Amino acid sequence: MRTVKTPQDRREDFLEAARALFEERGVDETSVSDIIAKVGVAKGTFYWHFKSKEALLEALAERRIGLFLETIEPILADPGRNALEKLRDLWRVHEKERHTRTSLQCHVHKPENLLLHQKVRDIEAKALVPLLAEVIGQGNREGLFTTVDPETTAAFLIMAQGLRLRQAEITGKPEADTREDAAQDILERVLGAAPGSLAFLSHG
């Protein structure tokens, strides 16, 4: 008997098939036809869910960010961590995730894919700014930070991090220690945090 899948299940089939093919062949080397063939459905079914390959890439990015949010939720919800401890642990999770390179991430960060890169950054910011703002607000209440506007500060921190990583992706060179120390100093000033309190940004 033929199994009838829900639209959400079918959408997940496309996303999982695309993810597997991207890892096997690369994003540029995988066509929409390849993805459709792997799922085993009619061409129109794909375009009912996604307008284009780029739309599917954005959906994959959203799914990745959703999984990241699930990972950090216990950190954010932990009443035993102060704001600095939460920032430190969030940073470590972020760095681990960033260094787990996938074909999709490599594709997004290519210089010629600037528009897609910006769309992914916008998706990330929309999800992360409110969460980071909550941590900053907690830091204000604990006397660890003195920033006036947690949400604007959170948006600035995410934007600055995005620009820093974008430069590293384009040049293919990690930041020198002196630049990382300078970035740490700037972020401490933005947050109104004690000097050296964000040392984990430079030294893990």
What domains lie within the chain, and their CATH numbers?
1-50 (1.10.10.60), 57-203 (1.10.357.10)
The residue type found at 134 is: E
Using the CB atoms, write b or e for 153-166: b if 16+ within 10 Å. Answer: bbbbbbeebbeeeb
Query: Can you tell me the distance from the alpha carbon of 91 to that of 85, in angstroms, rounded to the nearest whole number?
Result: 10
The answer for residues whose C-beta is within 8 angstroms of residue 192's C-beta and 6 or more apart is 145, 146, 147
Q: pLDDT tens digits for 18-72?
A: 999 998 988 889 999 999 999 999 999 999 999 999 999 999 989 989 989 999 9
Contact present, 147 and 190 (Cβ < 8 Å): yes
pLDDT of residue 104 exceeding 80, the answer is no
pTM of the model: 0.81
